Structure 1
Amino acid sequence: MRGFRIRRALAAAVALAAVLGAGGWAADTQTPVTGPPPGSAAWTADTSLGRRLPDPATTAPDGVAAFFAALAPAAQDALAVRYPLVVGNLDGAPVALRYRANALALAAERTRELARAADPARTPQDHEAARTRAERYRTLLDGGRQILAFDPRGRGQVAEVYGDLAAARRTAVIVPGSDIDLLDFDRTADPYGTPAGMARALYEATDRQTAVIAWAGYTTPVGLGLDAATEDLARAGATRLDRLLDGLAVSTRPQEPATVFCHSYGSVVCGLARPTPDRASGVVVLGSPGMGVDSAAGLDPRVPLWATARNGSDWIGDVPNVRLLGLGHGADPTAPGFGARPLPATGSHGHTGYFAPGTASLAAYAAVALGRA
């Protein structure tokens, strides 16, 4: 019997490799963006205030919050102007100050990209890439958008807030899956497959009572290759998600900690983060390939876990639920024995349709986000 189980697991691992695109993995492998934001070395060396500035790499969000609480508004603003990429990505810093810092950082990066686009020493491909990024930065600067985080490194990371994060009684965070970065954060094609589209839909579905964060704050897999089948990127993302949730707990005053909605590979990130009650009031997974645990018992039982029923056209159902030889993400959260609370998916279509208006899944998500589930 034991030999049969091993053979079955090996067969499932082979099937997983086939489903996730064996043969083209090396080209898709991503290096996660980790560590403190650009400008941190100059920030930590700055003594202009007569005191040490909080080290972005080692200071917890509550320490960051205490530091800024002791500063006059003018001093806070001076730091945002001098170090926009640091302040804009500093969990625990005042929310409004981060919005201002990220607007400054986006404007500066746009200027740099426009200069690259006109640089005769660069290739036409470089010029096109620079123009694309410059346009991306312009759209993020338009219309008073509330950018909570912005990091131009790698494929780029960004987080945007819908609603009044400082005053909202309840908050939610959208954690996306593969193929999401600075350029694909809010694409118009397949909008409900992007964190921005999901966040907008949830914000409206709660009658704008819940502030929602569209968080593209980690390096996601590209395509369906080795990165999507393993936990390396999710593990790096979990560290960043933990810090975001810690920062929200000290820089905002919601009625309860955020509800975290985890789509596809993002549910692996959430499972490895293992949110605690001081960080999250609930976790919702949708289109999930697994959470990196064998059952809900592997997570904090004090944080309610909901799993959305998988619609019949979601291809994620073809991915075997295994963990073997470093491949796969474990048990299916929608399985009755996993231990998650079920949510309906009636009306949703495909892997990215769970937040579409009019679906039973979006209605259920709104109820969870409002604390009415």
Structure 2
Amino acid sequence: MRRFGRALIASALTVTVVAGTAGWATAGAQQAVTGPPPGSAAWRADTVLGRPLPDPASAAPREVALFFAGLSEQEQRTLARRHPEVVGNLDGAPVHLRYEANRRAVTDSHDPRFARLAGPGRQILAFDPRGRGQVAQVYGELDGAAHVAVVVPGSDIDADTFDRPTDPYGTPAGMASALRGATRGATAVIAWAGYTTPVGVGLDAATGKLAEAGAERLTRLTEGLDAVGAPDPVLFCHSYGSVVCGLAAEDTDASDIVALGSPGMRADTVADLRTEARVWAAKDPSDWIDDVPHVEFAGLGHGADPTDPSFGARRVPAGDARGHTGYFAPGTQSLAAFAAIATGETGEVR
């Protein structure tokens, strides 16, 4: 009974912190964007190749990869031209073809919010204009990469805030660029804003609803990487993104999962994640996430602190990072450690 009482109090504290942390505003509930990409109905009905096209809703990435492998380059480009929104988001499709399709999809959207995504040199791996917009961008060459990393962001990230200049290391684009630089170009890094994130610090951020939908999309991304021959990725999961990674851990084939500034991973220990990946955790002393109670009760809160020794994660040094978004800042111990993990030099992490 006493334990129940403590849990109830901690749950109430979670709601209080989530609703009233200084400088953060509550927000209305977000509806997760799920299901196949826009244009899927027209894709399914298309007979231009004289045979059925793989169903975006049900075809596994490996099936998609085999389908495209059987097409000529002209046939592939025909599909990308006729159905850019589908091909650009189809995990298992050739990477270069997805870039081409997404350039067309961004241009065809005629939405000024997304215009910059069509800029020269941008390698957009996924683009979905629905809702607040979702996007994934590759830094480096994914084809033939020796190492691959995926940055999974937390709250307030969408197509519009994907690379905001006012907080570069708090965005997936800034994190990915910094990590790529820290590995001296040895790692292809995907900045993945591929799920509906919470807005502000409200009830969405305190529950796992959006993370559950995000975990399914993250799992499919990693399956798509495997289908095109990429190495097992390292997942860098920031803030609410670590909840997504925790829920996806069992179903992804990541080599490593790094939780940073985490409110919890919906698990009490590393063993509860049921993953063969090495699990790492980082939290700097000035991160406000430490003020959020690490509990999970009645659907609120995300469980144990991954940096607590009892959780069992490997600790990443982060003493010189600053605040909740300083982990990827150049010159920090945390960024140096992330680079070592991304390139498989884990013995260099101290």
Report the TM range for the smaller structure's normalisation. Answer: over 0.9
In the other structure, the counterpart of 2:84 is 84
| Alpha-carbon distance between aligned partners in 2 of 1:51 and 1:279, rounded to the nearest angstrom | 32
**2:156 corresponds to 1:179:** yes
Describe the superposition over 1:74-109 as per-residue Cα deviations: whole angstroms up to 9, x where unpaired.
Answer: 000000000000000000000000000000001101
RMSD: 1.5
Kindly, what percent of the aligned residue pairs are identical? 61
Distance 1:34 1:176, change over 3 A: same
| Alpha-carbon distance between aligned partners in 2 of 1:231 and 1:164, rounded to the nearest angstrom | 33
State how 1:172-211 maps to structure 2 within 5 Å.
172-211=149-188
| Alpha-carbon distance between aligned partners in 2 of 1:61 and 1:350, rounded to the nearest angstrom | 38
Q: Contact 1:28–1:221 at 8 Å: present in 2 too? A: no
Matching residue's letter, 2:236 = F
Q: Tell me, what secondary structure is at the counterpart of 2:124?
A: strand
**2:343 corresponds to 1:345:** no
**2:316 corresponds to 1:316:** no
Q: TM-score, normalised by structure 1?
A: 0.90
| Alpha-carbon distance between aligned partners in 2 of 1:288 and 1:21, rounded to the nearest angstrom | 18
Describe the superposition over 1:4-31 as per-residue Cα deviations: whole angstroms up to 9, x where unpaired.
Answer: 2111111111110010016999842000
Distance 1:169 1:275, change over 3 A: farther
| Alpha-carbon distance between aligned partners in 2 of 1:300 and 1:170, rounded to the nearest angstrom | 23
**2:273 corresponds to 1:304:** no
Q: Contact 2:19–2:26 at 8 Å: present in 1 too? A: no
Counting matched residue pairs gives 344
**2:234 corresponds to 1:259:** yes
| Alpha-carbon distance between aligned partners in 1 of 2:262 and 2:100, rounded to the nearest angstrom | 35
Q: Tell me, what secondary structure is at the counterpart of 2:55?
A: coil
In the other structure, the counterpart of 2:269 is 295
**2:222 corresponds to 1:241:** no
Q: Contact 2:327–2:335 at 8 Å: present in 1 too? A: yes
Describe the superposition over 1:260-294 as per-residue Cα deviations: whole angstroms up to 9, x where unpaired.
Answer: 00000000000000245x72111000000000111
Q: Tell me, what secondary structure is at the counterpart of 1:215?
A: strand
Q: Contact 2:242–2:264 at 8 Å: present in 1 too? A: yes
| Alpha-carbon distance between aligned partners in 1 of 2:327 and 2:290, rounded to the nearest angstrom | 14
In the other structure, the counterpart of 1:121 is none
Unmatched tracts of structure 2, length 5 or more: none
Unmatched tracts of structure 1, length 5 or more: 114-133
Per-residue deviation, 1:137:
2.3
In the other structure, the counterpart of 2:121 is 144
Matching residue's letter, 1:148 = L
Residue of 133, 138, 145 corresponding to 1:161: 138
In the other structure, the counterpart of 1:217 is 194
In the other structure, the counterpart of 1:18 is 16
Q: TM-score, normalised by structure 2?
A: 0.96
In the other structure, the counterpart of 1:336 is 309
Describe the superposition over 1:320-352 as per-residue Cα deviations: whole angstroms up to 9, x where unpaired.
Answer: 011111100001100001010111002200000
Per-residue deviation, 1:145:
0.4
Per-residue deviation, 1:49:
0.9
